[in-house]
Chain A
């Protein structure tokens, strides 16, 4: 158990809908990262937050947005869903930002299926 929790575990929805994925980082971790894992694209970085502020953006679509709240949990919002958004979405957390070797601890993921 990494200490990172994600809800829900599975999500099935229809095209055009909007969903929210939730992540609680390990206790004390200030950084939260979101990754998407799909068969065709592999594991791709979406976005990073540190202590409530956006720090880095990757291949995140404009239909997607995220935020980190004062209690440090994070939410990833996916809207106008398309079939191609079906994937496993991981959240990871790390202790801070100084020192490049800080380990990122991954949650179990949310499997999103868009029908």
Chain B
């Protein structure tokens, strides 16, 4: 079974500072990795995904993530955060479940990013 660990439950950062949200996964097979963002009282929105190819993935809102197979990590970064980035961020791995066609996502526990002025 696959699992995802988000190492920080809360990350406070000052506006315009850089931020890194850490994510580690465990899997015995190749995986697809995702970062989702959840703004207050809203559903999840995809920030970026890693399927294959370049290990540096760029997403929306200036976020990027780097896939590191040897360290089984997929950390999310942004060089300069804004107040509007305050949200909960979820790392997820796609798990093969139940045979072909099954695409369930396994999520980490989430990291609450708080941007302070």
Contacts and interface: CB of A to CB of B under 8 A. Distances in A.
A binds B: yes
Interface stretch (B13-21, B71-79, B103-111): B103-111
B107 to A, nearest CB: 4
Q: Main SS of the interface on chain B?
A: loop
A107 interface: yes
Interface residues of B, number: 26
A103 B36 CA distance: 11
Given A42-B110, A48-B102, A50-B101, A101 B42 contact: no
Contacts, number: 72
Contacts of B106: 45
**Which of the four size classes fits the interface of chain A?**
20 to 34
Interface string B51-75: 1000000000000000000000000
A37 to B, nearest CB: 9
A31 B15 CA distance: 39
A11 interface: no
B32 A100 contact: yes
B47 to A, nearest CB: 11
Interface stretch (A12-20, A52-60, A73-81): A52-60
Q: Chain A: interface secondary structure? A: strand
Interface string B86-112: 000010001011111111111111100
B109 A42 contact: yes
30 contacts: A2-B43, A2-B45, A31-B101, A31-B103, A33-B104, A42-B107, A42-B108, A42-B109, A42-B110, A44-B107, A45-B97, A45-B104, A48-B98, A48-B102, A48-B103, A50-B101, A55-B99, A58-B97, A58-B104, A90-B44, A92-B44, A97-B100, A98-B101, A100-B94, A100-B96, A101-B94, A103-B46, A103-B49, A106-B44, A108-B43
Interface of A: 2, 4, 31, 33, 35, 42-45, 48, 50, 55-58, 90, 92, 94, 97-98, 100-109
